[in-house]
């Protein structure tokens, strides 16, 4: 079982580092489908893995020649995401404590993730026809980041496909720019989400050794994915992203059926 958790976290982090989606959007539904742990533990483990993966990815990007992170706008987005991350965790804990069965929370998470993924899939197919914007207001950047952080922390996915859609539509970023800035946002939202969980003493029960294997998978996956990202073109990233969205939608449909 430990090897399985490592393989899932490593594979998801490789793809997440290439596409800029954090990896949690893969880890969360896959572990839910496997039924190896309850919903709260899966969300926490997924968030910790994404945090380690995004930290390594952002640090790597600082040493590259391609300055793809837009520091002014990206930092405002990240600051908003940090607040949203704590808020999203609060929403999750409220839902988790008020639903009679944790499977109901899992069904809600899977349903929201399915909707978000479907919208992103449709947008990506048609984005060459969509007029994009170039928001520069720091206030609007922070509000956008807050919304992204809130959703990602509630779903336990880090950032996911919605980050790329919003960064493309609102800020006219290219695929690789959106990927780098998405991971920057994810780093802050997941960090505050973790701090909130620790501060409120709501860490779920799970074998600590599994967390170690998953973090190791996240770190190694970020390093491998970063190297791949440097060598492939935007159109190849787009193709990988589209295939991934289709797979994630299928897994979430299965999860909704399983939870209900």
CA dist 4 to 18, 29, 194, 222, 258, Å?
21, 15, 24, 18, 21
4-52 tens-digit pLDDT: 999 999 999 999 888 877 788 899 999 999 888 888 899 899 999 999 9
Band (220; pLDDT cuts 50, 70, 90): very high
Please report which residue ranges of the chain form alpha helices under DSSP H. 2-19, 24-34, 39-62, 71-98, 102-126, 138-155, 161-171, 175-199, 208-231, 234-259
Each domain of the chain, given as residue ranges in start order, spans: 2-259
Whether the model clears a pTM of 0.75, i.e. scores above it, the answer is: yes
Q: Are 189 and 85 in contact (CB under 8 A)?
A: yes
* pLDDT of 167 over the 90 cut: yes
Phi, psi values for residue 65, rounded to 5°: -75, -30
Q: Which of 31-35, 60-64, 199-203, 243-247 has the lowest mean pLDDT?
A: 60-64
Report, as an integer, the average pLDDT of 165-185. 89
Please report which residue ranges of 172-233 form alpha helices under DSSP H. 175-199, 208-231
Q: Are 239 and 29 in contact (CB under 8 A)?
A: no
- Per-residue b/e over 114-148, b at no fewer than 16 CB within 10 Å? bebbbebbebbeeeeeeeeeebeeeebbbbbbbbb
Distance CA 165, CA 56 (A): 23
Distant-in-sequence, close-in-space partners of 256: CB < 8 Å, separation ≥ 6: 107, 110, 111, 114
64-91 tens-digit pLDDT: 665 578 888 999 999 999 999 899 888 9
Q: Are 54 and 183 in contact (CB under 8 A)?
A: yes
Report, as an integer, the average pLDDT of 204-232. 92
Q: Which of 9-23, 150-164, 205-219 has the lowest mean pLDDT?
A: 150-164
Distance CA 190, CA 54 (A): 9
Extract the tokens encoding 256.
């909704």
Distance CA 251, CA 245 (A): 10
> To 10 degrees, the CA torsion angle through 174, 180, 185, 190?
140
């Amino acid at each position: 079982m430990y090897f399985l958790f490592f393989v899932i976290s490593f594979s998801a982090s490789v793809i997440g580092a290439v596409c800029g989606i954090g990896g949690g959007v893969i880890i969360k539904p896959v572990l839910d489908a496997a039924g190896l742990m309850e919903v709260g533990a899966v969300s926490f483990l997924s968030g910790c893995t994404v945090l380690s993966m995004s930290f390594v990815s952002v640090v790597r990007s600082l040493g590259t020649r391609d300055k793809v992170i837009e520091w002014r706008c990206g930092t405002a987005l990240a600051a908003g995401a940090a607040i949203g991350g704590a808020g999203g965790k609060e929403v999750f804990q409220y839902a988790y404590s008020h639903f009679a069965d944790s499977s109901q929370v899992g069904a809600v998470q899977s349903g929201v993730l399915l909707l978000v993924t479907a919208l992103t899939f449709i947008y990506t197919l048609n984005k060459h026809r969509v007029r994009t914007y170039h928001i520069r207001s720091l206030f609007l950047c922070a509000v956008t980041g807050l919304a992204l952080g809130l959703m990602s922390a509630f779903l336990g996915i880090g950032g996911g496909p919605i980050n790329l859609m919003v960064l493309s539509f609102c800020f006219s970023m290219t695929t690789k720019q959106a990927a780098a800035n998405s991971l920057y946002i994810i780093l802050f939202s997941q960090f505050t989400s973790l701090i909130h969980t620790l501060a409120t003493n709501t860490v779920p029960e799970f074998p600590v050794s599994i967390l170690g294997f998953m973090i190791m998978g996240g770190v190694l996956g970020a390093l491998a994915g970063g190297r791949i990202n440097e060598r492939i073109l935007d159109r190849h990233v787009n193709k990988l992203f589209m295939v991934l969205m289709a797979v994630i939608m299928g897994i979430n449909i299965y999860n909704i059926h399983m939870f209900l």
